[in-house]
Structure 1
Amino acid sequence: MASTDGETADIVESRPALASLAIIYCKGLAMGAADAVPGVSGGTIALITGIYERLIGAVTALDPFILAEIPTLHRTENRREFYNSLVGMDIPFLLALGSGMLTAVIILSRLVQTALSAIPGPTFAFFFGLIGASALVLAERRWLTQIGPMIAGVVGFALAFLVAGETATEAFPHTLPIIFGAGLIAISGMILPGISGSFILLLLGQYDHMTETLNDFIDEVIGIVSGGVSDTLIDATAVVVVFMIGAFLGLFTIAFIVRAALARYRMATFAFLVSLMLGALRYPAIRMRDATDEFTMAAIGSLAVGLVAGTGIILLLDRYTDDLDYDGDAVK
């Protein structure tokens, strides 16, 4: 009877934890939806939903060397210690959040690919509105009065403007080393407020390719049930795996570098990131132009609708988001 009572107590105690993880999953859905489109930051959604500090703490606490303990898990005491280590790193939180983000990305990637195929001009106008409005609401006038942020802003704008011009003309290939580098850098954007991982992929000319590849991968995995393994599955799997490896390594390299820069040169770093977004507007502008055969009133109207929609989403998010703190800069 005592054991039954104990089991009942464990079940009752687990309900709040399960409910909490379900809420975290839903917040992950919102973050994934944001990160699936360029311009909207999952980090901003994390701020809105009140989990940003916990997310940064959990990512920072990750210790890949814990995998070395797996061969010792045949012992009960080692399994208990391993479990406690995972809980200490807030792995359940990251798994619930990551599952929600992945679900949203899979769903929205299909919608984005359809939109890019059916209405590329208005879709890139939508991206233009998202990115441009994000940069404007994050910008600070005082950056123009201090030498450090001014230099960082000029460098960020020039870098993005040049790269966007190259990627818009398909100069960047979709080779595995490039995909690896894209994953390495994009993951840092996915956990920063104000700049999204999809924006970084767009800037590097990999957004369309990764969206299409992810959809191909999902279709082929589902198709395994009714058929064999195809060349498309092999190619798509290679791209997805290489991207994920790059993203995983980026969590322990690029993301830490960006966070260190924010801690020491906060104002200049944000000036660089925001100017990066402004310079990158060249990419959707070129794609809008190329996707529009004639600038008739109907074509201009459809572009305007996409632009207003993208801008409106950012302004709505900005209304319910606390302003970012740029104080505490080490370099004025």
Structure 2
Amino acid sequence: MNKWVKIYFSGIFMGAADIVPGVSGGTIAFILGVYERLISALSGVNKKSIQLLFKGDIKGLWKHFDASFLLVLGVGILTSLIALSGAISFALEFYPRYLASFFLGLILASAALLSKDLPKLQIKHLIMILLGCCFGLLVSLLSPTNINVTPLMVILSGMIAICAMLLPGISGSFILLMLGMYGPVLLAIKNLELSVLALFASGALLGLLTFSKLLKYLMTYFREITISFLIGVMLGSLLKIWPWKNIGQWTNIDGKDVPENVMYVMPWNINDYQMSSDLVYPLCFVLLGIFIIKAINNIFLLNDTNDIDTKR
């Protein structure tokens, strides 16, 4: 597989994940092996980049930011958002349990693959996984709020949402919902409110410039500890997409229907339980998610190995 084709399809898978509330494109980037390259490219603003800019060295600046990689990945994400948003939105509305089961399988398989980056499981790794789980659970259990929309809040929400998107296991759209900014941002996009969008984009850019540098530092100098924490975050965030839940009532927050009084239960304890539709089919989708991640990983790994052999 051509490396640019691989990057393009990585973008497609990331875009598909970002459409679903509770699923992070950063998780998919990690699985497909483009996460560290993405973080490195996004954290490229430094003294060298400023020098290249003032010199007018566009070619050097393009290479410095790995812009070809970002462009191809971005095109893949955009393609996915355009092509799959309708289908995934349909599944979210009419088959939410099956879609949640599918992504449950994706994340379980992803966490298992990430654990292979830990050559030997040690106490420090287990502690970080536990802390990551607690963090993921905390985020998953946050309740949506209504707040006053101010310019400062728009900027802060942009910063926080983009940081969440970069962190595997946490959905940026879910964080916006928790902050009470999902509706205002969505409305600003729909009505092309450029002043609001500019504030949000400036916050997102500021978040990228700061958080990507932090992630790059952590992945460079504390790789195993960071990966352990991220595995924990992914496992903790599974609660948010747990397919089997009893919902007491629904409320409208920020123009979006949000469940209240949610009880997470085992499949056979849900209301009006039916074995085929509530247990067998969801488990099949869990297995499908696991199979797809394994297949994608094997295909990408095989092609990477072939590329190395060819260079030899």
TM-score (norm 1): 0.62
Contact 1:163 1:203 in 2 (8 A): no
Contact 1:183 1:244 in 2 (8 A): no
Distance of 2:44 and 2:225 partners within structure 1: 26
1:296 to 270, 274, 285: 274
Could you say if the C-alpha distance between residues 143 and 29 of structure 1 is closer, same or farther in structure 2, counting changes exceeding 3 Å?
Answer: closer
The alpha-carbon deviation at position 270 of structure 1 amounts to: 0.7
Opposite residue 305 of structure 1, the aligned amino acid is C
Distance of 2:160 and 2:118 partners within structure 1: 32
Distance of 1:143 and 1:115 partners within structure 2: 38
Contact 2:185 2:197 in 1 (8 A): yes
Could you say if the C-alpha distance between residues 129 and 289 of structure 1 is closer, same or farther in structure 2, counting changes exceeding 3 Å?
Answer: farther
Distance of 1:103 and 1:174 partners within structure 2: 34
2:85 to 106, 109, 129: 109
Q: Based on CA coordinates, which of the two structures has the bigger radius of gyration? A: 1
Distance of 1:202 and 1:155 partners within structure 2: 23
Specify the alignment match of 1:10 in structure 2. Answer: none
Contact 1:124 1:288 in 2 (8 A): no
Contact 1:161 1:279 in 2 (8 A): yes
Specify the alignment match of 2:62 in structure 1. Answer: 87
Q: Map of 1:83-162 to 2, 5 A cutoff?
A: 83-89=58-64, 90-139=66-115, 146-162=122-138
Unaligned runs of 5+ in 2: 18-22, 248-258, 260-269, 303-312
Between structures 1 and 2, the one with greater strand share = 2
Specify the alignment match of 1:42 in structure 2. Answer: 29
The alpha-carbon deviation at position 242 of structure 1 amounts to: 5.2
Unaligned runs of 5+ in 1: 1-19, 73-77, 190-194, 221-231, 324-332
Specify the alignment match of 1:316 in structure 2. Answer: 295
Could you say if the C-alpha distance between residues 156 and 267 of structure 1 is closer, same or farther in structure 2, counting changes exceeding 3 Å?
Answer: same
Opposite residue 87 of structure 2, the aligned amino acid is L
Q: Secondary structure in 2 aligned to 1:61?
A: coil
The alpha-carbon deviation at position 162 of structure 1 amounts to: 2.1
Distance of 2:222 and 2:164 partners within structure 1: 21
Is residue 2:247 matched to residue 1:272?
A: no
The alpha-carbon deviation at position 296 of structure 1 amounts to: 0.9
The alpha-carbon deviation at position 212 of structure 1 amounts to: 9.1
Q: Secondary structure in 1 aligned to 2:242?
A: helix
1:200 to 141, 148, 171: 171
Could you say if the C-alpha distance between residues 87 and 287 of structure 1 is closer, same or farther in structure 2, counting changes exceeding 3 Å?
Answer: same
Distance of 1:124 and 1:172 partners within structure 2: 26
Could you say if the C-alpha distance between residues 64 and 93 of structure 1 is closer, same or farther in structure 2, counting changes exceeding 3 Å?
Answer: farther
The alpha-carbon deviation at position 268 of structure 1 amounts to: 1.1
Opposite residue 184 of structure 1, the aligned amino acid is I
TM-score (norm 2): 0.66
Opposite residue 256 of structure 1, the aligned amino acid is K
Is residue 2:204 matched to residue 1:247?
A: yes
Could you say if the C-alpha distance between residues 315 and 294 of structure 1 is closer, same or farther in structure 2, counting changes exceeding 3 Å?
Answer: farther
The alpha-carbon deviation at position 279 of structure 1 amounts to: 1.1
Opposite residue 117 of structure 1, the aligned amino acid is E
